[in-house]
Chains A and B, each alone.
Chain A
């Protein structure tokens, strides 16, 4: 395509002289741009100050949100079409990617840089303190706990999700109820972490006395054991009880993807191995695992990234008490409760540094896939 454009260029300039940019086109495009800003600004103010009935507001807001974006693209491309060909061809791609780049730049890339900058300042972001926030984080007891717990989450959670996912995918592949089973395991993916927190609070519920309404304690007392306050008393094991929630929610994700990958293993290879007398276990480790290794890598990466950012489960279940703090909850606490902006930013950056290797692996994988 690059070559194509280069070949065309002299053609354009050669046969027809570059068309002049008309004043009308410039005015139109400025007008369109301004109109977009003003109209959407006005609508925004209308919603901010509106006291309409919630249902009506909801309908109108949804209409604005959905049609608004489309209209912005529509009007901008229309404005560009007022220009001569060579300009249009150059500008149009930027109109197509423009909103994406602007939004990402404003709300993700620049903020990341600003957070990095803030992490070198003190609590009120007024005094430059160098690396002392970073030093403080690693000597702070709470932070050490948070980092330890995050590591636990990442290792235990990811390992369990991947292993269970693989196991269930294999089992489902051989069972007669594949679809139902997969739906059931996958279902928690659709449930919010907050709701999942409620669900599991009910499982772990503890009250002193005989009658237990929490499932786990009821089972423990049924077999003659002592009921426990699973999420608050048993430190540091309580973290594992929280991680179980993640496993419950994420195994379905791993399973679905592994299941698809396993179905991609060619049948004739499997048949050949069976004819040669390989057992199912040998086939699994000798053929299937190597065949789907790249899928295992992607799933593992995804779950690691996801687990590093874990926030909701801890927040809902324990609020970070009883030594269950993770980096994300600490971040929230530092920033919104203690108003320590420097510390909060540093935590976010530590989290970013933790995912950096994952970014690199992902990019390399992407290039291998022939993305670019």
Chain B
């Protein structure tokens, strides 16, 4: 009985610590989430936590000092004396706070503390980001023109157009290769496979410059095909390794009988292997999809700057760089870019986790 009680007690402690860690982990994202719904002016003036009820000084009655009072010396207000600096910063007097309202006019504000919330939340930031914000441009002659920036919706479609094939292509190619490596015997099999495994850890920076040169020569730069191929190459080693682990574990007699029945390897692959591998395909597919969706470096190098092909990560990085103070755009843009990964993450968490572990836990 004593032991059980002790464990229960320690369980509460564990829960508390874990809860605290989780809170810290969530806090940054929560801040962004709340901020993305706040009006632009609010974001720049107060912290996002002010959305929640909090105590704040609010302006109350105004005291007028007489003209004789020397502002440099001690100032007497309601029977107590304060220095000029204290009144500048605000000083506590009983339940209220005294602070200069207008030093030149000699008015002091008596503030009272009260509970406040600033709950004005809006969808404007999202609207602005999706449709493109309007900028005032001053012309040389002094007139102002409005110009519409490009919206995020185009970038969203671009990202999707890149991410879906850049997921399916490597997964398919890797599955074919993994099947051959696992179940077909041919000269050079071991060497090729070891080379592919070694590629797992090669930093892609090593490949960027020459590939960019080839792409420029072939006109592949800024094209969908080019970026699909790049993502395919950079993702292939991991996907092949993962699919090999799965496909080589399938029971041999399963497709041996199919082979004897006269099925070709292609038929076996598409009718037997692919359907059997759905869990593995799903998990590694999610992983690759998230990787492509979140990628920045590869797109930055192979896509170029035309807005018609830009992906979301580039768009947001641009926003950070050029308009660091447009927080309202930045917050909602970042959140839009997170929607897809987060949805996938929460819906398909089980598979995603399995995809991660496939290459790591074994052994």
Contacts and interface: CB of A to CB of B under 8 A. Distances in A.
Contacts, number: 351
Interface in A208-257: 211-215, 218, 248, 253, 256-257
A213 B164 CA distance: 38
A58 B160 contact: yes
A183 to B, nearest CB: 7
A315 interface: yes
Nearest to A180: B22
B361 A261 contact: yes
Interface stretch (A19-27, A60-68, A130-138, A140-148): A60-68
A341 B345 CA distance: 39
B206 interface: yes
B338 A191 contact: yes
A36 interface: no
* Interface magnitude class on chain A: 35 or more
Given A106-B233, A295-B360, A111 B209 contact: yes
B362 A369 contact: yes
A84 to B, nearest CB: 14
Contacts of B327: 202
Contacts of B43: 213
A260 B229 contact: no
Contact of B225 (A47, A189, A203, A257): A47
B14 A174 contact: yes
Interface string A267-301: 00000000000000000000000000011001101
Given A183-B349, A194-B296, A198-B320, A175 B15 contact: yes
A135 to B, nearest CB: 20
Interface residues of B, number: 121
Nearest to A94: B186
Interface stretch (B23-31, B68-76, B122-130): B23-31
Interface string A359-370: 100110110110
B276 interface: no
Interface in A174-188: 174-177, 180-181, 183-188
Interface in A88-116: 90, 92-94, 96-97, 99-101, 103-104, 106-112, 114-115
Contact of A70 (B172, B233, B356): B172
A333 interface: no
Question: Which 8 A/B pairs are nearest by Cβ-Cβ distance?
Answer: A65-B165, A192-B294, A107-B233, A96-B180, A190-B345, A111-B207, A111-B210, A100-B177
15 contacts: A48-B223, A54-B308, A73-B266, A93-B189, A96-B177, A104-B199, A108-B233, A115-B207, A189-B345, A194-B313, A195-B316, A215-B28, A260-B361, A295-B361, A366-B197
